[in-house]
Amino acid sequence: MPDLQLLSDRLDQNRYAVIGVSVDDDINLVREFLLQHQIRFPIFQDDNFRLASELLGIETYPDTFIVSPQGTITKRINGIIRWDQHDIENAFESSGNLNDAVTPNYPLNG
């Protein structure tokens, strides 16, 4: 998540938003983590897993979705990604081709 905060800070806030979903059942631990790591982007609490499992079909974590301004999921990335790579920001700003920009620690989906 700290990498996502760095990405959020670098992206054009008028065009992009980073939004997190927490499935942890202890909101106090979530708040403590967010404060400790200075996470400022919005985090939604999904402690009953409804959004994660039923609506998004998430089975493993982390799972990342790139959503268009129209609300369509355009890319799904399963696994740990180094969001602080400089090529990530360029991919968002140019063609949006994240396949060439990310260096996953796990396979990409989508």
Instruction: For 1-53, write each residue's pLDDT tens digit.
Output: 888 898 888 888 888 888 888 888 899 999 999 999 999 999 988 888 888 88
Give me the pLDDT at residue 67, please.
Answer: 78
Pairing of strands 43-45, 20-22: parallel
Q: What is the mean pLDDT of residues 45-68?
A: 82
- The pTM for the full model equals 0.70
**Could you give all domains of the chain from N- to C-terminal order, each with its CATH number?**
2-101 (3.40.30.10)
55 versus 42: which is more confidently predicted? Answer: 42
* Residue 94 pLDDT class (50, 70, 90 cuts): low
Tell me the one-letter amino acid at 36.
Q
The rounded distance, in Å, linking the Cα atoms of 85 and 88 is 6
